[in-house]
Structure 1
Amino acid sequence: MDVLKPEIVLVDGRCYRFFDSTSWSQNRELGSYEEESFQATYDSDQEVCDGNIEIFAHSGGRYKHSFHVPRAIYPFIIGQRGATKKRFETETKTTIQVPKQGEDGDIIIIGADRRKILSARNRIDLLVETSRKKMPFTHFLSIPMNKDNIIRGFNQFKSEVLNKTAKGARGVNESIFQTDKKLHLTLDVLKLLDNEERKLAAKKLLACREDIIKPFLKENGPINIEVRGIECMNDDPAEVNVLYAIIVDKDGYLQDLSERIVDYFVEEGLIQRQYNRVKLHMTIMNIRFSKKDDDESANERMRETFDASNILKVHKNTFFGKTTLSTLHLSQRHTKNDSGYYKETEKIEF
């Protein structure tokens, strides 16, 4: 069925069919410079020219093209014992130069004519896109909710759950609660694999303040955020992975602005939308909070649950607090700054 319905990958407006091997799903943690099982089909007519690719004359009547790829992608381009790079060079009759392990720099393609260089570049672009999909998210756009009144409301909720509401309930303990100073709303997640991509995302956030956020607030006024009630991420309250507080957005302004912000980053290619709309919520309990990243596999963690039946019943209208939207962060996952919140690559205030 994979052959009949292969994954479709878009790279710079081109559409490719990608036949993924089951080896990816069986072994996600590849060692250094291990080859990805990779097959792709190409439309040669699309490889003739590309106005966005600069190709310059090189010595010996040949041509040269260089472009940036994050260092984390180098192992996929090289492959095990250089097999992927050699195959690309053979198929396109070019020479592909990749910076040495641990070094940064550009990928350089040298070939006898422009068509062959474009062919190699297109193959590498497709490999980069498919490889990137396998890599974890590194950053997220966050609205901090660690205000004093919301922290008090959260800690009161936490105390009541542990000492009364869910005392003795399966899987409920202090370790699965969010850290109060890390309370936040996530608008969407990003994969920023090197300093160049982080700089681009930071620049986009600063531009977003001027192009999207300030005009919106000028037209609609300040946005008030109320946190009231709780819900879970699944249908069975006795088998819960994540419990979150509900964001009350009566006029819909916060939802509207959040969609515009995410779309602004999508246009730059920094975010690939996973869902049709932003799900506004503040996570307060998550089974993953009790685990270290290296304790066990993500699949094992996702199979664990806790019983939130009585919590959902008792706290369905619990009030956590109110705040006014005033800042947006480009936050780094799995980090903590001096204040206890996530480290920011960039942040804006408005």
Structure 2
Amino acid sequence: MVDTPLIRFIKGKGGNTQKQIEMETGVKIKFPLSKEETSIVIEGVSVENVTRASEKIKTILGEAVKSPSLDYSHFISLPLAVHPGLVEKLQSFQNSIMGNLNNNQGKQGCDSNEGTSDEEDYDGPVGGDSCVAVKLKVHNNDEPVKMKIEVTDASVDPRVPQSSFLSDLGIYKSIFIKPKTFHLTVLMLKLWNKERVATAAEILQKVSPKVIKALEGRPISIKLKGLECMKGSPSKARVLYTPVEEIGGEGRLMRACQAIIDAYVEAGLVLEKDACQKLKLHATVMNARHRKRKRITKKFDSFDACDIFKRYGSEEWGEFVIGEAHLSQRFKFDESGYYHCCASIPFPQSLED
């Protein structure tokens, strides 16, 4: 039995791992034809050969589940996108950055494609087009025509410097977090089969009483203010986030999150390196890792956020109640636009809850 996300580790790049196993053990490995099947077949001329191949595959799978190449599939999230006002603020933030920082690009000429190498990410300035089409009709070809055209771009915010193109800054639409998925991350998980997902969902339900106790049975609210870089400087930012401050400063939210983490560590669903990391609650707004690579010739592992910090470095995003915790699935979304919820537990909404 081999779960779908792990099959590629047995195949290897270009099928090299599979070929090596087959050559060394004298077997033939057959993979399932659909993603719904979770078993591979090992055919050999003897039990010994098949057993040797099976042991090699088990070793590969043991290394694969700890490998950075196996991406996180799920995470424990505290949804913030349930607050419409916050979603609107985030959308305005993105529109402002995409419109203002790219304004100079339109001024270079209407036929210029510079800075639009990421075809899927960049849709042009948000809030207006700097190009104007004018059709002239001249009755007498001998008469000279004079025109004066003034264009005012209402989308430009004078508070934001207009010094650079988006492409030069390494900023593309894809690196912004989708407002409808805005959240706080408590714990990342690698759940590569249905059994592990079911176990993770059960753990979240069972830890609910401890979470409520940590919250002292009272609602919990947070304040989001400003921006910070996860690592590096604003000129070479990789992750841009807004810090989280618990209203009241009692530490109840951190204790509740730690109760959740401890439950998953005890169940053996957390990798050792993740279990040792200190929890830092934050709400990501931009992440260079999400940049789409299609048609981008220049490789970016960071982006220049200096202009963004000048305007939003001390932005008041607001105060918000945390209503629940989710076991969320990455890359899959519900009708609301938020990550698919595999399980959830409620937080106290009032003193009577």
Q: TM-score range by the shorter chain?
A: 0.5 to 0.7
| % identical equivalent positions | 26
Residue 328 of structure 1 contacts residue 347 of structure 1 at CA under 8 Å; is this kept in 2?
A: yes
Q: Look up the match of 1:192.
A: 191
TM score, norm. by length of structure 2:
0.62
* 1:233-285 Cα distance to aligned partner (Å, 9 max, x none): 23322222221111013322222222221222122222224352112111112
Alignment map for 1:146-185 (pairs within 5 Å)? 146=81, 147-158=83-94, 161=97, 162=100, 163-168=157-162, 170=164, 171=166, 175=173, 176-185=175-184
Native 8 Å contact 2:231 2:237 kept in 1:
yes
In our comparison, the structure showing a higher alpha carbon Rg is 2
Equivalent position of 2:77 in the other structure: 142
Secondary structure of 1:335's partner?
strand
Give the CA deviation at 1:185: 0.9
The RMSD of aligned alpha carbons is: 3.8
Partners in 2 of 1:244 and 1:70 — Cα distance? 34
In 1, Cα distance between equivalents of 2:96 and 2:296 = 30
**In the alignment, does 2:38 pair up with 1:104?**
yes
Where does residue 280 of structure 1 map in the other structure?
A: 281
Q: Pairwise mapping of residues 59-74 of structure 1 onto structure 2 (< 5 A)?
A: 69-74=2-7
Amino acid at match of 1:292: K
d(CA) in 2 for partners of 1:82, 1:199: 34
Distance 1:316 1:296, change over 3 A: closer
The answer to whether structure 1 residue 214 and structure 2 residue 205 are counterparts is no
Instruction: Tell me the residue number matched to 1:128.
Output: 61
CA contact (8 A) 1:137 1:191 kept: yes
Alpha-carbon distance change, 190 to 181 in structure 1, aligned in 2, over 3 angstroms: same
Q: Distance in 1 between matches of 2:214 and 2:62?
A: 33
Shift of 1:330: 1.7
1:203 deviation in Å?
1.9
Alignment partner, residue 47 of structure 1: none
2-side partners of 1:177 and 1:320: how far apart?
16
CA contact (8 A) 2:222 2:319 kept: yes
User: What's the CA shift for 1:227?
Assistant: 0.9
Of structures 1 and 2, the one scoring higher in RCO (CA 8 A, sep 6+) is: 2
Q: Which TM-score applies when normalising by structure 1?
A: 0.63
More deviation, 137-146/247-256? 247-256
Secondary structure of the residue aligned to 2:200 is helix
Of Structure 1 and Structure 2, the greater strand share is in 1
Q: Which runs of 5+ in 2 are unaligned?
A: 101-156, 348-353
- 1:132-165 Cα offsets, whole Å, 9 max, x none, are 2121222221111111232244345445554344
Q: State the SS of the aligned residue for 1:221.
A: coil
- Output the CA distance in 1 between the equivalents of 2:172 and 2:5: 36
**CA 1:311–1:81 in structure 2 vs 1: closer, same or farther (change >3 Å)?**
closer
Residues in 2 aligned to 1:269 and 1:294: alpha-carbon distance in whole angstroms:
38
Q: Which residue of 2 aligns with 1:330?
A: 327
Residue 61 of structure 1 aligns with which residue? none
User: Structure 2 CA distance, aligned partners of 1:328 and 1:141?
Assistant: 7
CA distance in 2, matches of 1:295, 1:131: 30
Aligned residue for 2:308, secondary structure, equals helix
Structure-1 separation of matches of 2:211 and 2:41: 37
Is residue 334–residue 342 contact of structure 1 (8 Å, CA) maintained in 2? yes
Structure 1 residues not aligned, in runs of 5+: 1-67
Please point out which of 224, 228, 234 is paired with 1:227: 224
Q: Distance in 1 between matches of 2:172 and 2:6?
A: 39
276-285 or 76-85, larger mean C-alpha shift: 76-85
Q: 1:105 to 1:220 in 2, by over 3 A?
A: same
Rounded Cα–Cα distance in structure 2 between residues aligned with 1:346 and 1:121: 35
